[in-house]
Amino acid sequence: MLAVPAYFASMALEAATFRRRRRDGSPARAGEYESRDTRASLLMGVLSLVVPLVSPRLLRPFTPGRGRFGRGVVAVAGVAAVVATVADRAAKRTAREHPEVRDCGTAREAARSSTVARRVAGSAGVVAIGLGGLSTATAWSWRTAPGRLYERRVLPDLGTGPLALAFATVTWDFIYYWNHRLMHESRYMWAIHVVHHSSEHYNLSTALRQPVADALGTFLPYGSLCLLGVSPELLTTARGINLLWQYWIHTEAVGSMGRSEAVLNTPSHHRVHHGSQPQYLDRNHGSILIVWDRLFGTFEPEGDRVVYGLRKNIDSFNPFVIVGHEYAAIARDVASAGSWGERLGYVVRGPGWARSHRAALEQAAGTRAASILAPATASS
């Protein structure tokens, strides 16, 4: 909250810098401010502060082992999973019993039965995965809460001195790297994080375009540091330092920073992270330190001019679209899936897998349609 005035002052300075460059004849840059995009980013920033104040209270009754509806949610998810499994088998059995079209009436009845079975399986699959995911996320968050783990610490309290703060900051940064990488490599986690990448501009306001659905994710617990003697208060301070560093690196106004880029995450490194070109995808996940990316093989230096945004941009400034478009896409994919392998693949595997799998299915469907039409064309 103390940093809010600095946020607005720095955004005004950045915007003035780009206006001055434009007056000097420089070409338009993606770092320039666009009113609708900036309003959307600032609104998401406000929501990212407000929603976490409300969501724990809303979700607590549905948390298994804690809330009064927790068992009921798990039971409904289980029943839905059974229904989806039975419907899957019914759809496959119908396809096996009528592999060829001979009698029009029989074919229509088989197609109708198969369609109903697929719709039942799709709807039940969405319910099972949605409620199952909610139960898993809320239970995991509750059981790995910093205060809860601090009570079970295996090392004494480290205190609040500079060494303890340095330890908390570096180890938070290490866990952040893996959580950030996970949000890019698993689609249900990407659905949370995609909010931050949805802008086609790249300026300081983009840093404030933060996710609001963290409660639906399963993260490596930062609270695990409390087992090592980091107090929840010190953990909160480390988080604040981490977030403040991430703010200033969202700019095109700063170029290369020389030798410091061997160790630190800088605007140049983070511009790569927001790129939509193939060579930039899922790179440079670090927050304060870039050494994690160098160590674990996800580093990419800035080369070609970065094109910001998503592989397929949403072309909307509506906050509901910004937050929910990937969840809606996941639900559609899960509803269309014909097996649990496909359903879980659409959820837990990467966004790239979902794209390639859909393309393969469309190609296979086109091949089957061509093989069916070919004999009819030949006979005519």
Q: How far apart are CA 68 and CA 63, in angstroms?
A: 8
Percent of the chain with pLDDT over 70: 93
Q: What is the mean pLDDT of the chain?
A: 92
CB 242 within 8 A of CB 176: yes
Q: How far apart are CA 35 and CA 203, in angstroms?
A: 12
Q: How far apart are CA 352 and CA 311, in angstroms?
A: 10
**How high is the pLDDT of residue 277?**
97
| Residues whose CB is less than 8 angstroms from the CB of residue 23 and which lie 6 or more positions away in sequence, other chains included | none
Percent of the chain with pLDDT over 90: 82
| Residues whose CB is less than 8 angstroms from the CB of residue 76 and which lie 6 or more positions away in sequence, other chains included | 127, 131
Angle between helices 351-379 and 340-348 (to 10 degrees): 140
26 confidence band (pLDDT: 50, 70, 90): confident
Does the structure show a pLDDT above 60 at 178? yes
pLDDT digits (tens, 9 = 90+) for 313-369: 999 999 999 999 999 999 999 999 999 999 999 999 999 999 899 888 888 877 765
**How high is the pLDDT of residue 374?**
60
Q: Where are the domains of the chain?
A: 37-143, 152-313
**How high is the pLDDT of residue 106?**
61
In sequence order, the β-bridge partners of residue 189 are: none
pLDDT digits (tens, 9 = 90+) for 306-324: 999 999 999 999 999 999 9
Which amino acid type is present at position 234? L
Segments in the chain forming alpha helices (H): 4-23, 35-59, 70-97, 104-143, 146-150, 162-185, 187-197, 204-207, 232-248, 267-273, 291-296, 319-336, 340-348, 351-379
Q: How far apart are CA 8 and CA 1, in angstroms?
A: 12
CB 205 within 8 A of CB 33: yes
48 token code pair = 């990212």
Does the structure show a pLDDT above 60 at 31? yes
Q: How far apart are CA 338 and CA 125, in angstroms?
A: 10
**How high is the pLDDT of residue 142?**
96
242 token code pair = 């981490």
